[in-house]
Structures are given as structure tokens and as C-alpha cells.
A and B are shown apart, each in its own frame.
Chain A
Amino acid sequence: MQSDPGQNDASISRAGAAEPAGADGQSRDIRRIVAVARPWMVLLLVCAAFSLHPTFRSVFWRQEYLSGIVGQSARNIVLAVGLTFVIVTGGIDLSVGSILALSGVAIGMTLTGSPRFPFWLALLTALPISAAIALLAARPLARSNRATAAAAFVIVLVLLELGAGTIIFKGVAGGVKVEGAILIGLAIGISSGLINGVIVANGGVPPFVATLGMMSAARGLTLYATSSQSVSVPFERFRALGSGIPLMAVTLVVAVCGGLLLLKHRAGRYMLAVGGNEQAALLSGVPVAATKILAYGLSGLCAAIGGVLITAKFGTANTGAGTGAELEAIAAVVIGGASLSGGQGTIVGAVVGALTITVITNGLVLVGIEPNLQQVILGGVIVLTVFLDQIQRRKK
């Protein structure tokens, strides 16, 4: 791309396409404030409602319990941050729970050296860097001849994949250091996300279907790689990441970086533009396909960070980790005010949404609601929140 349309045209950024351009700037400001405040109001309302119950009142507002709530929310916060990128482009990512598990067991296998880290996972690890280099190599050719460029891309990619994959495969035999294992886990998350992105953006497969496929495939690969056995990770230096201040710090860094990217960076505004009106974005010169691929890649990265945190937290890479996590994370993003049709959503909202879900699940236990009814109530709250949001949006 030569110019920078997103930067020049402010109307593309932040929900631009969803709002009719009018003179009523003031009411738009009010609506924006309401949109920002809404997730906080939902959280406050939930807390207030539960606080009517004496047990909740006496237990919940203690400092150690509140920090426990944040610790419990860490997984959903990290996943919700990643999902926000995808959801604002108008997509969905159902595979985050499975990618979390795949990255987790990859870390476990590379740290302990048992069961052996398979070659195909090494190929997956090498994918992001190989693809990036191949893209750089093929790019100069693209101006003159697209077909040659594509061929060059494929050839470079395959060669790099085989080379780097072999190096990683040999390198990790017998176990690696904590930092290396984490990098491998993150690379696998990014790869899985990029594959989602390419299938959606270039393949034209609906996001729901593409990521549903990845959800099944990544879970299957998790089980296949480990022969269905969870991997024990008895390394204190790694496990320290999973609780207390390191856990909070990682979660905070992910949220802050995600927020800055979405609000301040060109790429983030492109994502909002693509979700707001894809045709308009395309015509304004936004690289729609690349933006989508980036969004899914970031979602995969965040899922892998979730995998790091969960594996560190429990000292075990569980093959069933993150089952159903995608639904909780999507609910968090939606409670946080994002629109599932794209173009709207904030990271702060997603974080508050994740906290709200944790408060609800804890609160229902504290006030002694029967477990079968807990799920009914959680489902009701999610739908009610979105319903109220819809009513508010319909009002002029």
C-alpha cells in the first residue's frame, strides 16, 4: 500500500460506518460516553445485586478475594483481548480454547522432552517466521508478475519451513529452557491463528466455519501429539508465571498492548474499518485481507498466552484445557459492548466483560444457587446485556 487512508480519513476509524453522519455531534458524544460506560455499569449492577446477599457481602469485598477474581479472570481476559480484534472485523474465532490447549502441551513437551515434540509441530512453530521472510522475498516481484511472485513465495516458504522446522525439531530434543518453550508455544498459537486468517480472508470460508474446523483440528492435534495424556510441567521458574504478580503483570501487559493497538495503531483502526463497512474500507485502500489475517493471528497469539498462563498456573498441560473457553471469551467481548456484526468494540470493554463473567460465576456459588440453575442465569445475563444494548442503539 502506498498511501495511508486510515490515518487521513477519520470517519473510517471507530464505528464510523455504523453512525450516520449528521450535525448532532453532541448526542453522538453522549452515546459514545454511554457505550464506554455501559460495561462498567453492568459490572457494578451485578456486584450490587449480589451484595444484597449477606454471604456475598461479607466475603466478596475483601482484598484477597478481589485479587483472586482478577487471577481467575486472567485466562478469559487474555482470550477476550484477542477475540476483540477478530470480532471488530466482523468475524468470530471459535478455536481459541483449542489453540490454548495445543500451545500448552507444546510448551510441556518442549520443556520436559517427553512425550517427544513431533516434527509436524516443529513445522507449525516455524510457520510465522518462514511466512514473513517468504513474503518479504516475494514482494518485489509482485509489481511485475503476480504468478512469479506467488511461485517464489511458495518455494521460499517450503524451503524455510523444512529448514527451520528441522532445526527446531533437532533443537528441542531432550528439552529446552523456559524462554524457548514459551516462544515455541506462542509461535504455534500465531500459526494456528494465521491459518484461520488465510482461510477466512483468502479462502472466503465464513469465519464461523473456518474456526470451527480449527477448534476441532487443534483439539485433535493436542490429543494426537500427547497420546491423550496430560503433560506434567514441574519447573518452578515456569510455574511462577501462573500466579500472583507475574500473572497479573502478563494479563495487564496484554490488555494495555491490545488497547493501544486497537485505538492508536493504524492496524487497529483498519480492523474497525473492515468490520464497519468492508466495501468502503476496500475502496479507501485498506488492505482488507491482510488486516483480517492479522486479527486472527493476534487472536491465536492471545490464545497461546492463555495457554502459557494456564499451564504455568496448574503445573500441568492438560489436553482438555480451555474446553468451552471460547464461549466465555465471546460472551466477555459481547458484554463489553462489542458488536458481533463488527465495527464496534473496545479492549477495556472486553476486560470488564471478562471480570463480569467471573463475578457472576463466583457470586452464584457464594449466594448458593443450585449448580444447574447457575448456567441458566449466566446465559440469561449474557442475552439480556446484548438485548439492552440493541434497544439503546435503536433509539435515535
Chain B
Amino acid sequence: MRARFIGGIALAALLAGCGPEKPAETPPASPPTGGQPAAAAPALTQADLDAVPKATKDYKIALIVKTKNNPFFIPMIHEFEETAKQLGAVPEVQAAAQESSYEQQVALVQAEVGKGVQAILITPADSKALVPALKQAADKGVLIINLDNRLDPATVKSQGLKLGGYVGADNEAGGKQAGAAMIEALPGGGDVAVIEGIRGVDNAETRKRGFESAVNSKLKVVDEQTGNWETDAAYGKAQAILAKHPTLAGIFCANDNMALGAIKAVDEAGKKGKIKVVGYDNIPAAKELLQSGAMTATIEQHPDLMGKYGVRMAVGILDGKVTSGGEFLVPLETIKHK
């Protein structure tokens, strides 16, 4: 189902210990240029998108994010606006009230089409339910670029939606990078536990899956609990996990908010630094914890770059400088305790 490939990211491939790379269906958009390492075929490279010149017209480009309630989207919005202005396009940002309000997103798509935008960048709240509305927009000549949460390829195909492209990150690859960081921190092997996000949510599941597939042969996952993305919940779960598994060597938390809770529990158990905690997201609070060694590593997913290269892709396609239908995966970065 998940025809994911890790491309365009030398860094990710190196650190993740390489998942199986599946060739994607679309042909290469353009040959890799500059000094960029050749990656999986259809991916656009950073150099391709960096080479996009100023827009020939003042295109109106809308970004529709899931919600402004999630700090993840804030740098995305910021970079989207900055880059659009640099390129001479007119940015507009819309957001639904809640992470899951896909119906509201449908209405926003229709409203933006009505306003006469040339392109819509969207992080869909639902990977299937948004497709019909986007198809209507595309039929009216609006360029659709999918950011972050990927639209379901089967639905896109069956409804005949022609996407301008995809810019996002691979959460599973990020989970693998987290796993690689954990393996590196525990050269002698050991037992690890996973505190995951809300069950059934795509990025929670893919991060966990990535982590577990990466540590599979080297470390033993002895417990999985959900902290619902929340610090205090993760703290309680971590206390119980630590008591249950006295030989535990590491905890992977699927976001940094939960890692804060796990770190507090580890600290109180008198095992600071001995039990390795790996987080995800690189929130501001992680900096201090990485410095002190309370946190071993975290994954930076660069939502800012999704905003930036989303606009660059849109302007490039509108001006015929970039081929439609390609995709760009932003580099994931493992940030480690020095």
C-alpha cells in the first residue's frame, strides 16, 4: 500500500541504514543537477527547486494547513509566506480549526478556487476525503501541490486527479533514523520501549513502524505504550515502564513533548543519562536536554522546508520551469547529544 521510497535524501539513506527503495511510477522530472547525489528516479532535487527564478506573474498561491493549533505548521506557514514574497507571488494561508476537520478544508478549497488562486498547497486532514474537492479545483485549472500528509495514491488515481506534485517528509524514514540513533547510543544492545502517539494516526504509526524495523535485529522492543502525544501522559507511562523493566536501556518517544515526560521519569528513577531517550520533532525545549545529555537524539522534520519548496515547486510548474507530477522529500536531520 505504501509505495514509499527514500529518495533525494542522502542523509536519510545513510542514517536510516537504508530501507528497501521502491521505484516510483512517474518518470524522472529532470536529471539531477549540480553536485547533488543521484537519488531515486522521479524525485526533484533541492537544486532543481532552488533554481526556480522569480515568478513571471504575481500568482496567487494559497496554503491550506490542517490547523494552526499544531506548532508543526507554524514554520511551514512562515517559510511559505517568505518564499512566496521572494518569488513575487501573493501568499494566502488558510487553516481548519482542528487537526481532523477535513470537511472544513473542503470548504476552504472551494473558497480559494472561488477567489481565483492559481495554485493550492494543501496538507490534507484526510488522505481520501479531500480528493474530490481537489479534483474539482484541478479541473478548473488550479495547480494542486500536496504537502506533508500524502493523499492516498489509489484514490487520486481512481478519481483522475492530476497532482502538480508532492513535498513532504517520510515519517517512516524518520522513525528509522531515530532507531539508528538509538542503536548508535547502545552499541552493546539492550531492551528498549516505545512511547507512541495517538493510535491509528498515520504519523504515529509510521514513526513507530520505522523505529521498530530499524532496531529489529539489534535491540529488543520490550514494551509499547501510548502517551497520546502529551507530556504528562507519557510521564506516567514511562514510570510504569521503568518499574516493569529494570534492565531497560532506552526509550523512543514519537514526539518531543512525550520525551520531556519520559526524561522526567528517567531522572526521578535516578537513571539520567543511563537510559537513552530518543525523541522526534526537535522542539525548542529539546535543545537544553540534548546539551545536558538527558536526551540522546531527536529528529528534525523541517516543516519550514516543506513550505519553502512547496511554493518553489508551484511557481516553477506555473512558469514551466519544473515538470509537473514530481516529488521532493525534505531532508530529515538527526540532532544528537554532543
A320 to B72 CA separation, bound complex (whole angstroms): 13
Nearest-CB distance from A67 to chain B (Å)?
10
Cβ contact within 8 Å between B236 and A358: yes
Q: Which residues of A contact B34 (CB under 8 A)?
A: none
Binary A-proximity of B233-246 (CB < 8 A = 1, otherwise 0): 10111011101100
Q: Does A316 contact B (CB under 8 A)?
A: yes
8 other A-B residue contacts (CB within 8 Å) besides A65-B243, A72-B235, A315-B285: A60-B243, A230-B284, A232-B285, A314-B231, A323-B230, A325-B232, A361-B236, A366-B240
Q: A59-B243, A365-B241 are in contact. Are A320 and B230 (CB under 8 A)?
A: yes
Do B241 and A316 touch (CB < 8 A)? no
Chain B residues within 8 Å of A310, by CB: 231-232
| Residues of B with C-beta under 8 A to A68 | 239, 243, 268
Interface residue? B70 (CB, 8 A): yes
A188-196, A221-229, A345-353, A381-389 - the one binding chain B: A221-229
User: Cβ of B244 and Cβ of A321 under 8 Å apart?
Assistant: no
- Please give, as numbers and ranges, the residues of chain B lying within 8 Å of A323 by CB-CB distance: 228, 230
A362 touching B71 in the complex, CB below 8 Å, given contacts A68-B268, A314-B261, A371-B226: no
Sample (21) of A-B pairs whose CB atoms are under 8 Å apart: A65-B243, A68-B268, A72-B239, A223-B69, A228-B70, A229-B74, A230-B71, A230-B284, A234-B288, A313-B264, A314-B260, A314-B264, A316-B260, A318-B230, A318-B260, A321-B231, A324-B228, A324-B233, A325-B232, A358-B236, A361-B237
B274 at the A/B interface (Cβ < 8 Å)?
A: no
Complexed CA–CA distance, A371 and B199 (Å)? 9
Q: Chain B residues with Cβ under 8 A from A322's Cβ?
A: 232
Contact with B along A209-250 (1 / 0, CB 8 A): 000000000010001000111101010000000010000000
Across the interface, name the chain A residue whose C-beta is closest to B235: A72
B232 touches A321 (CB 8 A): yes
**B residues within 8 A CB of A314?**
231-232, 235, 260-261, 264
Q: Is B224 an interface residue (CB 8 A)?
A: yes
| Chain A, 359-384, CB within 8 A of any chain B CB | 361-362, 365-366, 368, 371-372
Q: Are B74 and A228 in contact (CB under 8 A)?
A: yes
Q: Determine the distance from Cα of A316 to Cα of B74 in the docked complex, in whole angstroms.
A: 19
In the complex the two chains form, is B283's CB within 8 Å of A230's CB? yes
> CA–CA, A55 to B242, complex, Å?
12
CA distance A323 to B197 in the complex (A): 14
| Cβ-defined partner of B268 (8 Å) among A223, A243, A372 | A243
Q: Which residues of A are found within 8 Å of B236, using beta-carbon distances?
A: 72, 358, 361-362
Q: How far is the CB of B250 from chain A (nearest CB, A)?
A: 17
In the complex, B162 has a CB within 8 A of chain A: no
Q: B74 contacts A371, CB within 8 Å?
A: no
Bound complex: CA A313 to CA B257 (Å)? 13
Residues of A within 8 A of B (CB): 55, 59-60, 62, 65, 68, 71-72, 75, 219, 223, 227-230, 232, 234, 243, 310, 313-316, 318-325, 358, 361-362, 365-366, 368, 371-372
Q: Residues of A contacting B232 with CB < 8 Å?
A: 75, 310, 313-314, 321-322, 325
Measured in the bound complex, the distance between the Cα atoms of B226 and A371 in whole Å is: 7
Cβ–Cβ contact B283 & A365, under 8 A: no
- Which of the residues B71, B224, B231, B244 comes within 8 Å of A371, measured between beta carbons? B224
Report A239 CB to chain B, min CB distance, Å: 10
A21 to chain B, nearest CB (A): 45
- Taking CB atoms, residues of chain A closer than 8 Å to B68 are 223, 228
Q: How far is the CA of A362 from the CA of B235 in the complex (A)?
A: 11
Contacts of B252 in A (CB 8 A): none
Task: Specify the chain B residue showing the minimal Cβ separation from A76.
Answer: B232
Cβ of A228: which chain B residues have Cβ within 8 Å of it? 68-71, 73-74
Q: Assign chain B's interface to a size class.
A: 20 to 34
Asked whether, in the complex, the Cβ of B284 is within 8 Å of the Cβ of A372, the reply is no
B71 A319 Cβ-Cβ under 8 A: yes
Interface flags for B250-287 (1: CB within 8 Å of A; 0: not) read 00000001001100100010000000000000011100
Complex interface: chain A residues within 8 A of B240 (CB):
361-362, 365-366
| Contact status A232-B243, CB under 8 Å | no
Q: Which of A55, A232, A319 contacts B288 (CB 8 A)?
A: A232
Whether B309 is near chain A, meaning CB under 8 Å from some CB there, is no
* Contact yes or no, A372 B264, CB < 8 A: no
Top 4 closest A-B pairs, CB basis?
A365-B240, A228-B71, A59-B243, A362-B240
Q: Give every chain A residue within 8 A of B285 (Cβ-Cβ).
A: 230, 232, 315-316
Are A371 and B225 also in contact (CB < 8 A) when A223-B69, A228-B71, A321-B232 are? Answer: yes
- By a CB distance below 8 angstroms, the chain A residues around B59 are none
Q: Which residues of A contact B283 (CB under 8 A)?
A: 230
Given known contacts A232-B284, A232-B285, A366-B240, is B230 in contact with A227 (CB within 8 Å)?
A: no
Q: What per-residue 1/0 map shows which CB atoms of B188-231 lie under 8 Å from chain A?
A: 00000000000100000000000000000000000111101111
Q: Closest Cβ of chain A: how far from B84's Cβ, in Å?
A: 19
Chain B nearest Cβ from A354, distance in angstroms: 12
- Give Cα A230 to B70, complex, Å: 10
The answer to whether B74 and A320 have CB atoms under 8 Å apart is: no
B199–A320 touching, CB < 8 Å: no
Q: How far is it, in angstroms, between the C-alpha of A323 and the C-alpha of B244 when the chains are bound?
A: 26
Residue of chain A at shortest CB distance from B284? A232
B207 to chain A, nearest CB (A): 15
Whole-angstrom CA separation of A314 from B253 in the bound complex:
15
Cα–Cα distance between A232 and B74 once the two chains are bound (Å)? 17
* Distance between B300 CB and nearest chain A CB, rounded to angstroms: 15
Residues of A within 8 A of B261 (CB): 314
The smallest beta-carbon distance between B229 and chain A, in angstroms, is: 7
